[in-house]
Amino acid sequence: MQPGSEPPEILEQRLFYRGRKFNFDVHRLRLPNGAEGDWECIRHPGGALVVPVTPEGKLVLVEQYRFAVAGRTLEFPAGTIEPDEDPLQTIQREIEEETGYRGHTWRKLGQFILAPGYSDEVIYGFLAQDLEKLEKPPAQDYDEDIAVVLMTPGELEQAILDGEPVDAKSISSFLLAKPFLS
């Protein structure tokens, strides 16, 4: 067995907080080297994200206030996977709710762990093309303050390089989508 490939022994596991979107667990672990300590973990059902592209080649993003960073961020539409929901179903629902667009051509871009140092959340990334602007989009969730922003891929790349507040899942997904953007 390779060094470090042996999993730690779980001595105790307790739910510290049960929330609407995630739980917070604290685990008492014994590492293979004998060291013991507490490790905290956010347990999340996962999320889905879409890189939407209009027929004109513009990217559809959302700008929204994020309490944790006390400011507005630029992001691709995303949402939490509901129980018994497939990630593609999640993001097809979310793009309509958050932007008022519907995608007709879908491609899975991949999946990635968002913050493995403290969370098990996996994000499933998709590309949506052949977008249609809905005449009557569904209402946004009551707790969202979202503005739709259209940008070219070059404009988004420059915003990222300029240090504008673009979240990591959107930057990662943009990188995965770049080969498919014209």
Q: What percent of the chain has pLDDT over 70?
A: 98
DSSP percent split of the chain into helix, strand, coil, nearest 5: 20, 45, 35
Domain residue ranges in the chain: 9-43, 47-180
Q: Which CATH architecture has domain 47-180?
A: Alpha-Beta Complex (3.90)
Rounded distance between C-alpha atoms, residue 1 and residue 119, angstroms:
26
Which residue is it, tokens 């790349």?
Answer: 157
Range among 13-17, 50-54, 65-69 rated most confident: 50-54
Strands 122-129 and 47-52: parallel
Q: What is the pTM of this model?
A: 0.88
